[in-house]
């Protein structure tokens, strides 16, 4: 996420503090991190509790003045004006929204023509998941309709992020812990999808996309 934002920002005029929307923000460290990196971040979430807690967090963390704000709103009707935002990012949010393909056109509406959209989506490999293969196909069509890819698209199985021996955080010495995590995930999926339907560890992938609006 940061890599794409920083690469894109390096091409902007110097001294510009990009207005960036955290879509489906919840209350996490990330907007505060970006604010200290020189971004102006508008957190958007449907939950009014997030607005309350975000305000409290800004006070507690001594946020940079004028760099952080919150608006309650739906990702399918982002509460900002047309072409008024420099960048939008969304981290594993779209899979929790009914008809998430509607979000893509809305992001394109609010972005400036030289803006950036960065998104990660948890994609199920079976129809029982919120973002099933059919829903994912609709998302891809909408992304292609409104955006030009700014980087190669990637899909990664979450467990590989933990177990790869060549990655930056190899957990191979902790295989027993990994096995316990995998067993817990299997039980959870069995409860949701029913037993005896194959290995659940390979039913989910994380898809990432970074793109600029089509002109």
Architecture of domain 2-156+202-213: 3-Layer(aba) Sandwich (3.40)
Q: What is the DSSP letter of 200?
A: G
Question: Averaged over 162-184, what is the pLDDT?
Answer: 44
- Residue 171 pLDDT > 80: no
User: What DSSP string describes 62-117?
Assistant: TPPTTSEEEEE-BTTB-SS-TT-EEEEEEES-GGGSSSTHHHHHHHHHHEEEEEEE
Per-residue model confidence as pLDDT tens digits over 35-89 = 999 999 999 999 999 999 999 999 898 888 889 999 999 999 999 999 999 999 9
At 24, is the secondary structure helix, strand, or coil?
coil
Per-residue model confidence as pLDDT tens digits over 97-123 = 999 999 999 999 999 999 999 999 988
Q: What is the DSSP letter of 169?
A: S
Highest mean pLDDT among 82-86, 162-166, 190-194: 82-86
- Residue 126 pLDDT > 50: yes
User: What angle separates helix 133-146 from helix 101-110, to the nearest 10 degrees?
Assistant: 20
Neighbours of 159 (CB within 10 A): 15
Q: For residue 185, what pLDDT is reported?
A: 47
Question: Averaged over 188-207, what is the pLDDT?
Answer: 52
């Amino acid at each position: 996420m940061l890599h794409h934002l920083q690469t894109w920002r390096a091409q902007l005029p110097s001294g510009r503090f990009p207005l960036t929307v955290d879509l489906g923000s919840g209350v996490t460290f990330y907007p505060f991190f970006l604010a200290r990196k020189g971004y102006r971040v508008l957190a958007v979430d449907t939950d009014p509790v997030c607005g309350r807690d975000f305000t409290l967090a800004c006070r507690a963390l001594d946020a940079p003045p004028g760099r952080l704000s919150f608006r309650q709103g739906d990702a399918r009707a982002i509460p900002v004006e047309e072409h008024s935002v420099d960048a939008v990012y969304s981290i594993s949010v779209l899979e929790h929204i009914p008809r998430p393909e509607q979000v893509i056109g809305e992001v394109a509406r609010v972005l400036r023509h030289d803006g950036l959209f960065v998104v990660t989506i948890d994609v199920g490999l079976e129809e029982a998941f919120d973002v099933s293969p059919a829903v994912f196909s609709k998302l891809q069509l909408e992304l292609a309709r409104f955006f030009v890819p700014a980087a190669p698209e990637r899909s990664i199985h979450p467990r590989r992020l933990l177990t790869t021996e060549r990655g930056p955080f190899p957990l191979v010495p902790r295989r027993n812990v990994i096995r316990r995590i995998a067993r817990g995930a299997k039980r959870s999926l069995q409860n949701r999808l029913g037993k005896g339907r194959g290995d659940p560890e390979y039913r989910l992938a994380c898809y990432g996309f970074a793109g600029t609006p089509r002109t």
